[in-house]
Amino acid sequence: MYEYIIGKVTFINPYYIVVEANGIGYQVSVGNPYRYSGKVDQEVKIYLHQVIREDAHTLYGFSDLDEKQLFLKLISVSGIGPKSALAIMASEDHGGLIFAIENEDAAYLTKFPGVGKKTAQQMVLDLKGKLGELETSDAAVEAMAQTTIHSANQALTEALEALSALGYSEKEVKRITPKLEELGTLKTDEYLRNALKLMMKR
């Protein structure tokens, strides 16, 4: 089992990044690929969790151990798979997520893609009282701040594609697009962070 990988980020798309180490490019699924935009061709350390299935071997990546531990806690809940767990973590409001679970706020939890009332209740049942050791990571915020500037249209398009990759429906994406356009010229990562905040307000 892999613990982490150290290598250079060579490719980014809405679904994953590619990290090259020792001449091999590893496809790593992450919650917000564009947090690594400023790290292209730079060396990074990404913690990993490998999921092996009959039709695929997938690596999931995290900026630190706290993120990885939160992911492992989430996928232990019945009804939450790796993709759903990444989508839940993509907003990076881990403190808010933990608070909602501890306070049995199912209404907040059902705002995440793929989380219905039953799954939200299961999250509370399985995880309440078990997440206190996990803290919101400042490292993730710092990593996200290192982004390159794209053109406004390209950056917005990439952010919308990333929302779709996280599991939000076309209707949900279209609903918030005008609000994102009103924000003016932003980086992809900034559009995505604002989009996720808007999604949580619905």
**CATH code, domain with 101:** 1.10.150.20
Provide the residue-wise pLDDT of the chain in tens; the chain has 202 residues: 789 999 999 999 999 999 999 999 999 999 989 999 888 999 999 999 999 988 889 999 999 999 999 999 999 999 999 999 999 988 777 888 988 999 999 999 998 988 999 999 999 999 998 887 664 444 334 433 433 333 457 889 999 999 999 999 888 998 999 999 888 888 899 999 999 999 887 6
Q: What is the pLDDT of residue 1?
A: 78
- 80, 132: one domain: yes
- 113, 83: one domain: yes
- 49, 78: one domain: no
CATH of the domain at 181: 1.10.8
- 30, 86: one domain: no
- 58, 70: one domain: no
- 78, 136: one domain: yes
Q: Where a domain ends, among 62, 80, 96? A: 62
CATH of the domain at 51: 2.40.50.140
Q: How many domains, the chain?
A: 3
The pTM assigned to this predicted structure is 0.72
Q: Write out the residue range of the structural domain in which residue 133 sits.
A: 66-140
- 80, 121: one domain: yes
- 136, 153: one domain: no
Contacts of 34 (CB under 8 A, 6+ apart): 12, 147, 158, 159, 162, 187, 188, 189, 192
Q: Where a domain ends, among 140, 156, 171? A: 140
